[in-house]
Structure 1
Amino acid sequence: MAERLTDEQVETLAHLITDPFAARQLVAAAGIPMADQPWSTHSPRMFWTEVSAAFANGAAVDGAQRLLTLARDQFPANIVLAGPPVFAPAGANTSPRPAVWNIPPRPARFVGRADLLTALAGHLSVGGDTPGIAAVTGMGGVGKTALAIEYAHRQRLAFDVVWWIPAQRAELLDTHLAALGQQLGLPADAKPLTVLAQLRRTAVTWLLVFDDVDDPATVMPYRPTDGHGRMLVTSRQRGWRGIGAAIDVPTLTRPESIALLTGHLPDADPPAANHVAELLGDLALAVEQAAAFCERTGIPLVDLAHLLVERLDEALALGEVVERPEVTVATLWDLSVRRLAAEQPAAVALLELLALCAPDPLPLDLLAEHAEQLSDSRLSHAVRDPLTWARTVGALVSYSLATRDDTTIWVHRLVQAATRRQMHDAHQEHLLADLLALLEADLPEDITLTPQSWPRWRLLLPHVRAALARASVPADRNWTTAPYPPATRDAICSLSDRTATYLTEHGRPTEALPLYNQSLAITETIHGRDNPRAAPILLHLASALRVLGRYREALPLNQRAVTLTETTFGTEDPRTGEARNNLAVTLGNLGRFDEALSSYEKALSIAEATYGPDDFRVSIVLGNMAGAFYHLKRTDQALPLIRRAAAITESCRGPDHPQVAVALNMLAMTLTHRRHHGEVIELLQRVLAINEAAYGPGHPEVAANVNNLALTLRYSGRAAEALPLFDRALAISEATFGPNHPEVARTQHNRALALADLGQTAEALALVRHALTIAEATYGPEHPYSAEARNNLGIIYIRHRHPWLPRLTRAAKRRRGPARS
């Protein structure tokens, strides 16, 4: 028996060695002189196919093995070339395809899927102990048919008969098999069993490919019963493992999607290709369709991305793939949904609700625990009955319209878009009201400094943001004319405020601002500008602005909230106390500490009278008041307040709560002024551990803690240890807020002082100048922080011009001896 290359090895060599002269040199080294090599071929694939045939016909002793050895030396990382050649009888048929063959042309551009092709080759190898059946399953458009075609072409020399059977219409299967019978010499009206018997009788190796099978029962009669036959099935339906191997086809990887786009569009911008692939969810058919649309119309991928962002539901019908001109993503799942509507109407209702969510996992218990919020009786009934609910969810999964795990379900973004295309506006608004009601009923109300609420918020955040985006009102309309009943408007208002609060708590205040503004707009439009419902939203919006360093914008919001609460509830109401506490924080940020202390005193009096002296809400005001005394350098007054605040908070919240970290951080900063550096470092390390556990390592609260720890190390003469901590804090703050935020300025200022301590005054000067620019732009030139930055700039400048001055000063101090009290 002579050797030949496997089809996959031929494909790999054609891909890797495209230069004709290099290819002929390699073949010559394997034993076929250049004069005896094929010269008439015009493509690398055909060249290597004919070389393989030459090896099989004995053109060179051990030629295939020698060629692979040489190729491995050139491409040692290639796993295909590591495989052995295949033995074939001398003189065997070496044509490019089997004698009986009707497989469609292979895809013009096939990318990736190497692992799936390898798995198929293993399951369908002729003569093995496997059942001989493999089903390729997955959602419509994912690339099942293309994978089957590619497999058939790559493995064509392993079979004598390869026949493609479109199987979507079961009643036509007999006709397709009769056509195969004619190729085998049978009459035109031969029955399927006769055709199969002929295949077995001739003892040829055969592969039947059934494309788009809806029901496994339709192909069961055609299963191979000997080692010569194999069956490959493509199907959107799951449940094939009982009769053979099942291979689930995922969406393309991002590099594969980009390769597919740039294969059609060689001049495409890679970031734009990445964005389009992301917007299309890496669905193979959608990526092909997008590439075809751009190729035909000349529209740049960047412009297509804008269309997909703004009008995805309509853009699904743009373009068509040459190999499947009758199919677009817009219509791809219509048949499955129609069948589902007849079999499981509740599953279609669930699909429509999921179409308004984000394409992320949605917890199934959101519906199961709040069935009363569902107005669709089909879905409400299904959710209440565990067996019906299991069947409803299972139907979506079975048709590959959704994916689930133990606790969640999710739908591909293009299935969502195609589903929305079929829903009229009034129906979407009705379902959106249900979704908003579900989310409002489920999401925890306590968010700030409440870690136990965050996991549920983290899981549902994509869905609440998707729902709010769909519910928003265009700029040319207002909320009085919005097509929502009052309960839905209230849900939008509440969820906008609460979602913005979660985002602010997790270091994303910029994303929070539009949601706070939407909540405020709804409240003011529906209830009036002077309605007290606006007060808490004003406070939350002011808080987000403070985080962004926009203190001057926050101040009038705080002042307005105080006026609203005092007018409505009175000067001693706890809501007025909360508004006063927040006003004081903003005044302190603006350097108006005396005014802040006056407001804190009123807030503390209200809190103690309302809640008692040992309530955690009292501790919040105490901690803030201590901060004001700290900034005024009145540490004797700050210290007892912050110690009391820390004790109350730990007693109420436990030792590892983020609110405890806030109090301990303030205590540490106060002790710093008393030079208790050892105690301060221990406190700050504890604070850092609490906040890293609560928020994660990249949160701005963690950055502030790291900055304070580094500052204390510098105060204790350990500037070299402080520098990497300043660098970490700076990286977090810049990533969160950008380069011109006051938190960035503070850290740069502190880092500059550490650099100056280490004699690196040139770099220190540049940092302090930048910090001073930010401070004056944020606070104004008269703010204490601006004054401090200017003072330090002068000190570092003097050190830079006169580097001997610090040494002289230290020497003078040593000569004077210790200071006298």
Structure 2
Amino acid sequence: MVAQREQTQGGGAGHESEHFVVVFPGYHRAWGTWIAHRLESHGHRTTLQRWDPDRDQPLAEALGDLQLASGRVLLVISDVFLQLGPRTEADWNAVLRGYVADNAGRFAAVNLTNRELLPATAVLEPVNLWGVGEEEAERRLLNRLGLRARRSRTPLPAYASRYPNDPPGVWGDIPRRNARFTGRDVILGDLQQQLMDAEHGAAVCTLVGTAGIGKTQIAAEYAHRFAPDYDVVWWVNCDQRNTQRDTFSSLASELGLGGVAEVGERVRAVRDALRRNEPSGRWLLIFDGWEEPEEAATYLPQGGTGHVLITSRNQNWRASTDIRAISGFRRAESTGYLMRRAPHITVEEADQVAGEFQDLPLQLAQAAAWLGEEGMEVSEYLRMVRGVGLTRLDNRSMPDDYPYSSLTSWSLLLNKLRKSEPRAVELLSLCAVFSPGRIPLGLARGIPSAELPEHLRWISTDRAGWARALDSLVNYSVLTRESRGPSVGDDDQEDSVHMHQVVHSVISELTQGRENDAYRDSVHRLLVEADPGAPNDSRQWGRYAELLPHLLAAAAPASKERRVQEMLLNCLRYCYASGEYTLGIELAESIREEWEGFLGAGDLPLHTLTTLQGNLLRMAGGFREAQSLDSARLERLRETPGADEEAVMEATSCLASDLRLLGQYDEALTLQEEVVEVSRGLYGPAEWTSLLAQHNLAVGLRLLGRYEDAYETDLDTLRKREQVLRARHLNTLSSGNACARDLRMMGRYQEAVARQDLGMRLHLQVLGPQHPQTLLARHNLLLCQRRAGTSRQDMATAMAALLEQQEQVHGRGHYSTLALLTDYGNFLREHGDLELSRELLTEAEDGFRALLGPAHPVSTAMQSNVGLILQAEGDRDGALTMFEQALAGLTSLLGPDHPATLGCALNTSGGRNMSESLDTAHELSQDAFHRARATLGEDHPLTLSCMIATACDLRSLRRREEAYEVEAEALDRLTRSLGAQHHHTLAARQRARPYWDYEPYLG
């Protein structure tokens, strides 16, 4: 059947309208909606079709049903799509090779995963939309369908969703999306319609059901599935009232509601802002596990156009909200879920298991784990379950909240406390060991009594005494009480207090707790309890930030207990992950000063300290200090018989990083290859340590100019990190940056922009605008956009703004700031602001020379940028001198085939040409062209620039015919690779001599 077409007015001659049936699993509803809107904006008609055929229906018949409508069928496929039913690989392969192949003209597909699809899906010729920005995705979609973009588009409806890859501006700790989420499409669709159709201010729905029925999973899937419909999505865990208040009130900072300090005021400010639809009326609040309907007025905005979703076991919510009762899975959902996770079981066996657990999702997940991951037979599993009662659920009680107090006068109070509540004074003695501010005092309740001095054992055994002592301090306003985070075990462990600086100074003097070893040791144990144990998780950074001020105040580095030492190391890991480099270096120095007094050089804690200290020093620009630490350690380990292989590997990795930064690229790569081999042997290729080693290997390859190899390595690392870690993990985001950088260095500018644009949005959401990695991502995006041809004014404004941020975070002399100064200076020179350009480039060159020394590749290559300034100012001799010096230095340091050397050779040939050394200019440009073609490929922009330069030199030598041939081929390749309107192409057509400015990169 031929797709129905009809002439569309306003689209231009030859623009025909088509009808498309956009078919998607519920999991990808957002993509189906976006694709439909995109096609409609170009004048085409669409029908959206959620597709989840019954498992008893043959696939060919189900696909045939889709063709009953006119037009082509566009399948939104991924590994999720290919598990519908569930179906076996054999089922899919058969229908793809048979029915779909026979009707290939009626089918097309887009692919939304980076995981490998079945080979037979090639018949659909799916275009990959994974990991690219909206503009690129639309271009690929239209190209796949053979459609032309309309000049005059049909306006999108007001309710049109945002591009699915673009996260909402505010995304508040939503649970990670469950890739195994099954069914519930009717519930989710009805829920969205119910919220959309509700009157303004009344769009509140409560999912009610028993524990384990899947309410939280449905709410989380709703947030992910419909995220493009919202600008603000905020998740509030209501297991504890204090957690609920704190989490809800923390939305204030995300909404820009500054100047509100007290939690109750923040709650009110957030509620009122949402009621006024500030900053946007497209907001979604999710309250998970909220059991007290009487508190609804405290949190729910009475107005606004946003939506509220609540999960609860309390049916009384029906008095104030709409209710949606949640029951177990439908039987088809239960069996489908079980068979996907345990493909060895039959439909009949899955039905038995589902019946045993009454289709309860929580228990089915447990059953699927046993059956799938253990490979257990259903009969054996059911016997076990019926024997041990695996299906029972435990109900949790809700902890009480604790009131807040205000700080008032303390001076007349202490003597009264000594007489009436001596235990309160003992708590104050503990507080005196901390630094002033927030103190996680309640964690002392979790310390086993045997680990406390005898006079403090009451803290862990006498709950009533604890409550009285603490209440006295709070009631008398010596302390204010704070509570944060979910309780674990004893509710009192969540008691945190705040002590003002003045009060702390007086109490420290009067209680002398700081000088008492018993109190100090107890605080050390308390700090261990406060360690979340996850320093790389950005969600825990707030807790680590609170711990840091107390470490030196409590003399924690002097402790000889391994648990305390590990807590200190975790705090250093947090400093590295969060970008607190200076603070981390100061802490590491204090720890080393203590540890070297009682730890041996080969002890593991000291070894780990060296690794972390070196990492922090490198990030702060202390390359030589890091190398001194790491080389001494590696030498010592290699001289130690039977040294631990992991310790040697880690030391080798650190030294490789130092050498890369110091410009010793070949030696660094050799060491890093050794690290990768050892790591894979110890942990396997997909473990996070092995992936870090692989990531660093790509850095080394990139520094050596092996961009294709670096990209292949980085892309593999990215895919594995997305699976092993998560898409929003710090390391995964770093891999995304690396892939975009590789693409840019390879000359694939548009692809680089598409990838980095999406990565930038994720960095802002996960790490915030001031995190060092976010600044690096923004810098990379600007370079991608500059190479791709972003407008001059936009680029100048963005670079100036980023420079201001870099100075705030790193200071003017940090290597990342120096790199930005260079790139900004190059841009300004290119656009005529020679005075400011010279100022910035001179500052950057001096800074790199001071930081790295004169013989470093970066310092050497900077001379070429200075030469371009001199050339633009008319100082040809000075420019040529700088070019020649840079070329000689880079040839010696990196070899003649390195891209940086070739870029410098291009500039040098131009300098020679302008100085009338025409033969040597031609000789150099031609040599650079041949080397670039062999190193980078014949269509790389640098290769083509060398080719254009060769044509210029031939023309200067009056070899016009040869020049014309070379120039024509170069222009043809530039047009095909970069486009006819790219500035490189336009400059070449105008016969402007090409140049290559150097972008400093340290790795």
Identify the TM-score tier after normalising by the shorter chain. Answer: 0.5 to 0.7
In the alignment, what sits opposite 1:573?
A: 645
The answer to whether structure 1 residue 748 and structure 2 residue 828 are counterparts is no
- Percent of aligned pairs with the same amino acid: 23
Match of 2:430 among 350, 353, 356: 353
The answer to whether structure 1 residue 527 and structure 2 residue 599 are counterparts is yes
Distance, in Å, in 1 between the alignment partners of 2:449 and 2:405 is: 36
Distance, in Å, in 2 between the alignment partners of 1:760 and 1:559 is: 45
> For residues 655-694 of structure 1, what are the structure 2 equivalents within 5 Å?
655-694=727-766
Distance, in Å, in 2 between the alignment partners of 1:600 and 1:570 is: 22
Q: Which runs of 5+ in 1 are unaligned?
A: 1-246, 252-282, 284-331, 473-483
The answer to whether structure 1 residue 761 and structure 2 residue 834 are counterparts is yes
> For residues 598-609 of structure 1, what are the structure 2 equivalents within 5 Å?
598-609=670-681
Please tell me whether the aligned partners of residues 443 and 529 of structure 2 are also in contact (alpha carbons under 8 angstroms).
Answer: no
In the alignment, what sits opposite 1:583?
A: 655
Question: Could you say what secondary structure the match of 1:361 adopts?
Answer: strand
Change (3 A) 1:625 1:427: closer
Post-superposition offset of 1:411? 2.0
Amino acid at match of 1:356: V
Please tell me whether the aligned partners of residues 681 and 712 of structure 1 are also in contact (alpha carbons under 8 angstroms).
Answer: yes
Change (3 A) 1:466 1:525: closer
Instruction: Tell me how large the CA RMSD over aligned residues is.
Output: 3.2
Please tell me whether the aligned partners of residues 645 and 663 of structure 1 are also in contact (alpha carbons under 8 angstroms).
Answer: yes
Match of 2:471 among 394, 397, 422: 394
In the alignment, what sits opposite 1:127?
A: none
Change (3 A) 1:248 1:582: closer
Please tell me whether the aligned partners of residues 657 and 690 of structure 1 are also in contact (alpha carbons under 8 angstroms).
Answer: no
Distance, in Å, in 1 between the alignment partners of 2:475 and 2:448 is: 24
Q: Which runs of 5+ in 2 are unaligned?
A: 1-403, 485-495, 877-909, 915-944, 953-962, 974-1003
Post-superposition offset of 1:666? 1.1
Change (3 A) 1:348 1:466: same
The answer to whether structure 1 residue 453 and structure 2 residue 537 are counterparts is no
Please tell me whether the aligned partners of residues 429 and 513 of structure 2 are also in contact (alpha carbons under 8 angstroms).
Answer: no
Please tell me whether the aligned partners of residues 545 and 553 of structure 1 are also in contact (alpha carbons under 8 angstroms).
Answer: yes
Change (3 A) 1:760 1:424: closer
Please tell me whether the aligned partners of residues 404 and 410 of structure 1 are also in contact (alpha carbons under 8 angstroms).
Answer: yes
Post-superposition offset of 1:713? 1.1
Post-superposition offset of 1:602? 0.8
Post-superposition offset of 1:531? 4.2
In the alignment, what sits opposite 1:723?
A: 796
Post-superposition offset of 1:574? 2.2
Please tell me whether the aligned partners of residues 698 and 732 of structure 1 are also in contact (alpha carbons under 8 angstroms).
Answer: yes
In the alignment, what sits opposite 1:772?
A: 845
Deviations 1:158-184 (A, max 9, x none): xxxxxxxxxxxxxxxxxxxxxxxxxxx
Change (3 A) 1:522 1:555: same
Post-superposition offset of 1:372? 4.0
Distance, in Å, in 1 between the alignment partners of 2:851 and 2:603 is: 31
Change (3 A) 1:557 1:445: farther
Amino acid at match of 1:637: D
The answer to whether structure 1 residue 414 and structure 2 residue 502 are counterparts is yes
Post-superposition offset of 1:656? 0.9
Amino acid at match of 2:419: A
Distance, in Å, in 2 between the alignment partners of 1:494 and 1:695 is: 25
Amino acid at match of 2:520: L
The answer to whether structure 1 residue 552 and structure 2 residue 624 are counterparts is yes
In the alignment, what sits opposite 1:464?
A: 551
Post-superposition offset of 1:707? 0.9
In the alignment, what sits opposite 1:638?
A: 710
Question: Could you say what secondary structure the match of 1:526 adopts?
Answer: coil
In the alignment, what sits opposite 2:80?
A: none
In the alignment, what sits opposite 1:595?
A: 667
Distance, in Å, in 1 between the alignment partners of 2:695 and 2:836 is: 36
Distance, in Å, in 2 between the alignment partners of 1:485 and 1:657 is: 33
Distance, in Å, in 2 between the alignment partners of 1:727 and 1:368 is: 52
Post-superposition offset of 1:427? 5.3
Please tell me whether the aligned partners of residues 346 and 382 of structure 1 are also in contact (alpha carbons under 8 angstroms).
Answer: no
In the alignment, what sits opposite 1:438?
A: 526
In the alignment, what sits opposite 1:381?
A: 458
Distance, in Å, in 2 between the alignment partners of 1:569 and 1:715 is: 53
The answer to whether structure 1 residue 512 and structure 2 residue 512 are counterparts is no
In the alignment, what sits opposite 1:268?
A: none
Distance, in Å, in 2 between the alignment partners of 1:801 and 1:741 is: 32
Distance, in Å, in 1 between the alignment partners of 2:751 and 2:776 is: 18
Distance, in Å, in 2 between the alignment partners of 1:501 and 1:605 is: 25
Question: Could you say what secondary structure the match of 1:404 adopts?
Answer: strand
Please tell me whether the aligned partners of residues 349 and 376 of structure 1 are also in contact (alpha carbons under 8 angstroms).
Answer: no
Question: Could you say what secondary structure the match of 1:355 adopts?
Answer: helix
Deviations 1:578-630 (A, max 9, x none): 22111111111011110011101110111110111222211111111111111
Change (3 A) 1:622 1:569: farther
Change (3 A) 1:426 1:400: closer
The answer to whether structure 1 residue 796 and structure 2 residue 869 are counterparts is yes
Distance, in Å, in 1 between the alignment partners of 2:660 and 2:515 is: 50
Amino acid at match of 1:450: D
Question: Could you say what secondary structure the match of 2:598 adopts?
Answer: helix
Question: Could you say what secondary structure the match of 1:540 adopts?
Answer: helix
Change (3 A) 1:729 1:485: closer
Question: Could you say what secondary structure the match of 2:779 adopts?
Answer: helix
The answer to whether structure 1 residue 620 and structure 2 residue 708 are counterparts is no
Distance, in Å, in 1 between the alignment partners of 2:413 and 2:760 is: 53
Distance, in Å, in 1 between the alignment partners of 2:717 and 2:639 is: 30
Please tell me whether the aligned partners of residues 405 and 474 of structure 2 are also in contact (alpha carbons under 8 angstroms).
Answer: no
Question: Could you say what secondary structure the match of 1:422 adopts?
Answer: helix
The answer to whether structure 1 residue 710 and structure 2 residue 782 are counterparts is yes
Distance, in Å, in 2 between the alignment partners of 1:669 and 1:520 is: 37
Amino acid at match of 1:432: R
Change (3 A) 1:485 1:657: closer
Amino acid at match of 1:370: I
Question: Could you say what secondary structure the match of 1:781 adopts?
Answer: coil
Amino acid at match of 1:727: A
Change (3 A) 1:652 1:492: closer
Amino acid at match of 1:758: H
Question: Could you say what secondary structure the match of 2:511 adopts?
Answer: coil
Post-superposition offset of 1:572? 7.5
Change (3 A) 1:373 1:676: farther
Question: Could you say what secondary structure the match of 2:497 adopts?
Answer: strand
Post-superposition offset of 1:394? 1.1
TM-score (norm 2): 0.44
Post-superposition offset of 1:632? 1.2
In the alignment, what sits opposite 1:14?
A: none
Amino acid at match of 2:435: A
Distance, in Å, in 2 between the alignment partners of 1:501 and 1:579 is: 16
In the alignment, what sits opposite 2:722?
A: 650
Post-superposition offset of 1:744? 1.3
TM-score (norm 1): 0.54
Post-superposition offset of 1:519? 2.1
Distance, in Å, in 1 between the alignment partners of 2:450 and 2:778 is: 45
Deviations 1:635-657 (A, max 9, x none): 12212211111111111011111
Distance, in Å, in 2 between the alignment partners of 1:434 and 1:249 is: 27
Amino acid at match of 1:423: T
> For residues 496-507 of structure 1, what are the structure 2 equivalents within 5 Å?
496-507=568-579
Amino acid at match of 2:768: G
Please tell me whether the aligned partners of residues 538 and 578 of structure 2 are also in contact (alpha carbons under 8 angstroms).
Answer: no
Post-superposition offset of 1:672? 0.8
